[in-house]
Amino acid sequence: MALLASVFVGTSVDGFIARLDGTFDFLDAGGSEPHGYEEFMATVDALVIGRNTYEVVLAFGGWAYGNKPVFVLSTHPLAPAPAEAIVEHMSGDPADIVAQLTARGIQHIYVDGGITIQRFLRAGLIQRLIITRVPVLIGSGIPLFGALPHDILLKHVATRQYTGGLVQSEYTVGV
């Protein structure tokens, strides 16, 4: 079975996943109502995140990912992980990373972090996008999507709206 790579991400309506300083306090603008994250996480075997995202998560205190293995992509040394975390440092081409994870029996990864999402998407390795738009415009920040070498076709699966104003769209990629 081929590895499934999914993105589950929140953005401002103008398409930013974080402010220029890396913070994403604006995501609270949609309230804290459940919007499928727990259900999504239950389907994931491991996470693949970039070093910047890892450092932001570390600053939260505690560990957000429970006992899920987290593969942090970086060419630089990583800050120490909390004792309860399962963290592994990796680097390399997204296709090589997917091959390594597939060889370990991992079947579904959650890809997170702006640069990491963009690299995996450009490499054609993302099959599913779940994008939750928060009802706020922030004007500038770190965009979810960067330059692409070609169009990437998406197939709309579903759009859900939530009482707090969140609008979530799900797509399959490359159809």
Phi then psi dihedrals of residue 21, to 5 deg: -85, 5
For residue 82, the 8-state DSSP code is: P
Mean pLDDT of 54-76: 90
pTM score: 0.92
All domains of the chain, ordered by start, with CATH? 4-12+41-132 (3.40.430.10)
Mean pLDDT of 105-122: 95
Mean pLDDT of 116-144: 95
pLDDT at 63: 87
Count of all residues that appear for the chain in the document: 175
- At residue 175 the predicted structure's pLDDT band, cuts being 50, 70 and 90, is low
Is 31 within 8 Å of 164 (Cβ atoms)?
yes
29-44: per-residue pLDDT in tens? 666 677 899 999 999 9
83-97: per-residue pLDDT in tens? 999 999 999 999 999
Contacts of 40 (CB under 8 A, 6+ apart): 6, 8, 110, 130
Q: Does the pLDDT at position 61 exceed 90?
A: no
Mean pLDDT of 57-75: 90
Count of other CB atoms within 10 angstroms of residue 112:
21
* Average pLDDT of the residues of the chain: 92
Residue whose structure tokens are 């990629």 = 173
